[in-house]
Structure 1
Amino acid sequence: MNLSIIIPLLNEEESLPELHRWIVSIMVQNHYSYEILFIDDGSTDNSWSIIQKLGIADPNVKGIRFMRNYGKSQALHAGFARAQGDVIITMDADLQDSPDEIPGLFNMVTAGGFDLVSGWKKKRYDNVVMKNLPSKLFNWAARKTSGVVLHDFNCGLKAYKNVVVKNVEVSGEMHRYIPVLAKNAGFGKIGEKIVIHQARRYGNSKFGMNRFVNGFLDLITIWFLSRFGKRPMHFFGAMGVVMFLIGLFSATYIGFLKLYKLYNHERTILVTDNPWFFIALATMIIGTQLFLAGFLGEIILRTKNNEDRYKISETL
């Protein structure tokens, strides 16, 4: 099978028939063997009924329905697990992503040799204040933090080799960072293609400021996991040693000052009346806890037996 087209959706009943017709026309024109996977992420409208009707009329249409809304990452994860095509295309269901881009993305993966190709909505038709400016800020931070040079991390229109989607774990709200996850898994040939972005025709946007905030929190998470996920002692241990040394030097200073004043028969105060005592106590406790956190992290990494710590790209 040439293509698996994965479409996560939430309450997009108006756009589904038109999107299906558009995709099929592109598939027929280019003589692709394909499947279309609609992932219904807990829709409360008639989206699932429409998917069922499309599936009866077209054997290439398949669907997965969640019992409730789990989020786009979970929808993509379910689609990735079921996809059979040599190339996997992901796109949104709101008709803002154009199926006309599919042949170009497919060729970049097959002929161009890219592991992953991400769309770039260079000209957008979204609200400037609510979506465009936050998106630019988010993409700038993602580039600086991850080292992956893409202009539009959150573009839903992407193409992947099959082996890529089978070796990345998409959880939480990490769908924005699949290129970073792919890079961390060893798939370094990541490309970008300028794609057409269209104004929404039906329904309402699912974007909100909570998703913007969550995106930055996820960015911090993936930055930490990328740098220290395999060696937590390097972060927690180093921080713990620094904090413990601050406490140790503070305690040494307090003790030396106390002995010096006693030796010279000067008036002294209780050690507990010195603010440096509490600084020393707090930093030594925090330092010890951080060091233990790193140590426990290393033990967990070395003893978990239920998860492979390497990825297989091919076998002979």
Structure 2
Amino acid sequence: MDISVVVPLFNEEESLPELTGWIDRVMRANAFSYEVWLVDDGSTDGSWGVIQQLVAKNECLKAIKFQRNYGKSPALNVGFQYAEGDVIITMDADLQDSPDEIPDLYRMIMDQGYDVVSGWKKNRKDPIGKTLPSKFFNFVTRKASGIELHDFNCGLKSYRRNVIKSIEVYGDMHRHMPLLAKWAGFQKIGEKVVEHRARKYGYSKFGLSRLVTGFLDLLSLMFVGKFGKRPMHLFGTMGTVMFLIGLVTAVYIGTAKVYALANDMPKTLVTDNPWFFISLTTMILGSLLFVTGFLAELVARSNPDRNHYLVETVLDA
């Protein structure tokens, strides 16, 4: 199979017929063999009823329904598990991503050798309240990750099959999938300017809070990517340095006290020196960090239930 399209959705009943029809026209015009996985992330409107009707009419359409709303990353992760195409393309269900971009995204993977191609909504059809924070987020992510992409948030992306089978998407990590791919060893990451269309139906499901969670996820991902398999290298190093600083300070204070006693200097208590408490605190913190490193080594990095979701129904014609 040439292409698998994974479409996470939440309350998008109005746009689904137009989206799936558009995808089908593009695929047939380019003679692609394809499948579309519609992942209903616990919609509360009539989305699932619309999906059932569409699947019954087109054998290339397949669907998954969550029992409740988990989020975009879990929806993508489950869709990736079922996808069988040589190239996997993700897009949003709100018709702001154009299916006409699919052929070029496919060819950049198959003909130009990219592992990941990320869309760049260069001319966004969104209010400034969304575009400015997004630009700042993309700037920080670009500098932190070393990946030269302009739009990490774009839902329109294409992946070589072995990329999505090698990474795990959880939490809100869908924004950082190029970085996940990089950490997994896939280095050829490209970018394509794509059309961004004005929203035709419904409303955006994301607010400004996603910027905060996005930065937290980036920090988490950077830590896991660098120290997930060797947390002792981080916590042990920090703990050792802090302990040694405290120890050296304590030895200095003790030596100064012995010198004072040997030379009949005015007698003072060691506890009168504030550096005594600083050194003691530093040694305790260093010990705690060192123990944390040991515990982190013992705790499994991946919880086996982290990506366990209650799938109510799978339609696979």
Scaled by the length of structure 1, the TM-score of the pair is 0.92
Q: Counterparts of 1:273 and 1:10 in 2: how far apart (Å)?
A: 64
Q: Secondary structure at the match of 2:119?
A: strand
| AA aligned opposite 1:196 | E
Residue of structure 2 equivalent to 1:26: 26
User: Which deviations, in whole Å up to 9, do the C-alpha atoms of 1:187-244 show, x marking residues without a partner?
Assistant: 1111110000011111111121211100000111111122222322221121111101
Q: Secondary structure at the match of 1:31?
A: coil
Q: Counterparts of 1:269 and 1:200 in 2: how far apart (Å)?
A: 75
Aligned length: 303
Q: Counterparts of 2:49 and 2:269 in 1: how far apart (Å)?
A: 77
1:105-116 paired onto structure 2 within 5 Å: 105-116=105-116
Q: Counterparts of 2:228 and 2:122 in 1: how far apart (Å)?
A: 33
Q: Counterparts of 1:44 and 1:20 in 2: how far apart (Å)?
A: 20
Residue of structure 1 equivalent to 2:79: 79
Q: Counterparts of 1:46 and 1:221 in 2: how far apart (Å)?
A: 36
User: Which deviations, in whole Å up to 9, do the C-alpha atoms of 1:91-148 show, x marking residues without a partner?
Assistant: 000111000000000111111111111101111111212x111111111111111111
Residue of structure 1 equivalent to 2:151: 152
CA shift, 1:288, in A, is 1.3
Q: Which runs of 4+ in 1 moved over 6 A?
A: none
Q: Counterparts of 2:5 and 2:48 in 1: how far apart (Å)?
A: 17
Residue of structure 2 equivalent to 1:312: none
Q: Counterparts of 2:300 and 2:267 in 1: how far apart (Å)?
A: 50
2:8 matches 1:8: yes
| AA aligned opposite 1:297 | A
Q: Counterparts of 1:284 and 1:120 in 2: how far apart (Å)?
A: 49
Q: Counterparts of 2:60 and 2:47 in 1: how far apart (Å)?
A: 18
- Does the 8 A contact of 1:230 with 1:301 survive in 2? no
Residue of structure 2 equivalent to 1:96: 96
| AA aligned opposite 2:156 | L
CA shift, 1:300, in A, is 5.0
CA shift, 1:301, in A, is 6.8
Q: Counterparts of 2:300 and 2:13 in 1: how far apart (Å)?
A: 45
Q: Counterparts of 1:272 and 1:16 in 2: how far apart (Å)?
A: 72
Unaligned runs of 5+ in 2: 305-317
Residue of structure 2 equivalent to 1:309: none
Scaled by the length of structure 2, the TM-score of the pair is 0.92
1:216-295 paired onto structure 2 within 5 Å: 216-295=215-294
User: Which deviations, in whole Å up to 9, do the C-alpha atoms of 1:55-102 show, x marking residues without a partner?
Assistant: 111111111111111111100000000001111110000111000000
2:196 matches 1:197: yes
The RMSD of aligned alpha carbons is 1.6
Q: Counterparts of 2:213 and 2:82 in 1: how far apart (Å)?
A: 27
Aligned sequence identity (%): 60
